[in-house]
Structure 1
Amino acid sequence: MTARSAIRGLVILFLCATPVSCEMFEDTKIDPFEGQGAYFTMYGFLDATRVEQEIRISPVRRTPEVIRSPTDDNAFIDAAVTSTDLETGVSVVWRHELSQLSDGAYAHIFRSSQVPRPGRAYRIDVVRSDGKGSSATTVIPLLTSLSEPVRSQFREDSGILFQDIALPGVTLAANIEVFYDVTDGGVSHFFRVTRSYDAEGAGNGNGGWQFTLDLSRDAAFVRTVAEPVLGPRLSLNGMGVRVRWADEQWPLVDGPIDIEILAQPGGLSNVENGFGFIGSIGDYLRFWDITDEAMRAALGLDGSDPAPR
């Protein structure tokens, strides 16, 4: 299944949760109330890289209703939301906000200030005033000290230098940042340049994620950013990578990943007594020294005077 087909399917299912006829998408009618005991739709994720968390909650109704104005009857929601660290038992109460979306409609967004701990399981409960409700449990991804990046030798293709980076244990990358640590050649001043790789790469079949660095492009960017600060004699001393990555409950897709889209309600659900999906995002951060003199020289970041342009 490709990322495009997965996202298209999720978008269709999202549209079917709004007052739009689904006949154009499916001939089969499915009544979500047939099983009964469903109270809320929950979707979103806990993010270990952020302090502010948010999820979207909707009461389950037989007839979908769009909130057009804060004065609409359905602008009120009978719901109390808490998240509980299942290891410590500590609970956090979430605050409700009626937020306007990009299409002008409104949605029930619940927010909290907390930093989820890697490796911990969290249960999110949404409860009505009569005690009935829905819940979902997610585990924040955790990588061990053995999960170090596996770096290939740099290679040249049509005059451009590349390097493959494998991230063991990272099953689904949401966002990748690469760091280049340079000095002024005399190691008296340090400067870090960040290069975004979005969600490039794919699963490598060994339980990890792999992407390719365009070293030539990045070296030119590093020089553009760092040279006005440190001068022309730049030396690459170290590199690093930071990845926001998803837990194992997320659907596996090929190609670029948009976590916000995949978190929309769809066929994938881990909600008890309700619908939707609650996932989690972990933080992968690793650094390494650059000791390959040939690589530094090839990139023009070996502390020597740059070649004339």
Structure 2
Amino acid sequence: MPHSRPVLALLAVLAFIGSGCAEDIGGPPPLSVSYTLWGTFDPQSDQQAVRVVPIADTLGTGSAAPLPVTVTSEDLATGEEVSWRDSVITYSDGSIGHVFLADTRPAYGSQQIFRLVDEDGGEAAALITVPPQIEPIRQATTFTGGVRYPIVWIDAPQINNLRATYTIENERCETSRVTRRLPTNVAAPTEFGWTLRLPFSDEGREIRLSQANPDLSVREIVLSVEIASEDWQPPGGTFDPEILVEPGTLSNVRGGFGFIGSAYSQEIRWEPTPTELSSAGFRPRRFGCTGV
């Protein structure tokens, strides 16, 4: 099964990162192994991936030789243990990386322990909490201060990577899609989960400016987010490699360095009503223009 967006996005970052000298608040933990771990557990994917970086490789191009480590993961509820296999990736700059793979799909809401044991018996481990399976709830549209679409995720521990894709229609009934990354301040945690308020009026102004066309309508809105483990809180809500290499930015590995989180992608889509369109500065859809 192809990797979903959280896995692909993190692997792209891993191509950049040589090592993350992360440390917990209160001082660096004692190290058992000289490895950095970066990865994600995705309950929508049949294959998981974690980058394992020997600290000694950070000054060179790396080696394709198998790493002298044993890597496993365990579901704490069922006791099921999975063995991971080493794979080698050559990046565009000629450097070599090791990505450990496992053909497994972690259960929603489960807790997993990822373990790496080196040839001397040293161990690095990370506790990963897979977020529960959650369906978004779109609440009634609000019109005070502009058109806003409130969407609620009950019991979501964290949401990241907020994007909205608009299928727009011009005066000739021609359609195109515009995808915009949403600022993190449109979403906030609440006592029951997370709420996102999509600012349709503000988005509309930016779309019309970017298209240099005031005579637009919107046929469909697709909101995409990633439901993530609570500790998956990179600065700005995205995995910026320039930031992640800074010590202490993200860290949950005991006995080593790095971060292993859990996330999955989710979409919700809807068609704006004529009232919502006109209130946000769009024209209603033209009679005779069909399809999305």
TM-score (norm 1): 0.60
Q: Report SS of the residue matched to 1:201.
A: helix
In the TM superposition, residue 172 of structure 1 has moved relative to its aligned partner by 4.2
Question: Equivalents in 1 of 2:61, 2:39: separation in Å?
Answer: 23
Among 137, 142, 145, which residue is 1:148 paired with? 137
Partners of 1:265 and 1:126 in 2: CA distance: 23
1:197 aligns with 2:181: yes
Alpha-carbon separation, structure 2, partners of 1:280 and 1:81: 18
Letter in 2 for 1:109: V
Task: Indicate if the aligned counterparts of 1:84 and 1:91 stay in contact, CA closer than 8 A.
Answer: yes
> Which amino acid in the other structure matches residue 66 of structure 1?
T
CA distance 1:289–1:87, change in 2 (3 Å)? farther
Q: Which residue of 2 aligns with 1:295?
A: 276
Distance 1:233 1:41 in 2: 49
Match status 1:249 vs 2:231: yes
Deviation of the 1:78 alpha carbon: 0.9
Q: Indicate the residue corresponding to 1:55 in structure 2.
A: 50
Letter of the 2:148 partner, please give it: Q
Q: Is the 8 A contact 2:67 2:86 kept in 1?
A: no
Q: Say if 1:221 and 1:202 are closer, same or farther in 2 by CA, change over 3 A.
A: closer
TM-score (norm 2): 0.63
Percentage identity across paired residues of the two chains: 19
AA in 1 matched with 2:196 = Q
Aligned to 2:36: 41
Shift of the alpha carbon at 1:278?
1.2
Matches within 5 A, 1:142-291: 142-145=132-135, 147-150=136-139, 152-154=141-143, 162-163=147-148, 165-168=150-153, 169-170=155-156, 172-180=158-166, 193=177, 195-197=179-181, 200-201=184-185, 203-204=187-188, 206=190, 207-210=193-196, 212-213=198-199, 214-217=202-205, 220=208, 236=219, 239-251=221-233, 253=235, 256-259=236-239, 261=241, 264=245, 266-267=247-248, 268-288=250-270, 290=272
Deviation of 1:134 (Å): 1.9
Q: Which has the larger radius of gyration?
A: 1
- Is the Cα–Cα contact under 8 Å of residues 150 and 167 in structure 1 kept in the other structure? yes
1:148 deviation in Å? 1.6
Q: Which blocks of at least 5 consecutive residues in structure 2 are unaligned?
A: 1-16
SS in structure 1 of the partner of residue 276 of structure 2: helix
* Distance in structure 2 (CA, Å) of the matches to 1:51 and 1:67: 34
| Aligned-pair Cα RMSD in Å | 4.6
Over 3 Å counting, the alpha-carbon distance change for 1:16 and 1:153 in structure 2 is: closer
CA distance, structure 1, for counterparts of residue 187 and residue 151 of structure 2:
9
Cα distance in 2, alignment partners of residues 303 and 90 from structure 1:
55
Where 1:282 maps in the other structure, the secondary structure is strand
SS in 1 for 2:108: coil
The CA distance in 1 between the partners of 2:54 and 2:210, in whole Å, is 50
Cα distance in 2 for residues equivalent to 1:155 and 1:94: 54
Gaps of 5+ in 1: 1-10, 18-29, 185-190, 225-231
Aligned residues: 256
Deviation, 1:243, is: 0.3
Preserved CA contact (<8 Å) 1:174 1:258: yes
The one of 280, 286, 289 aligned to 1:304: 286
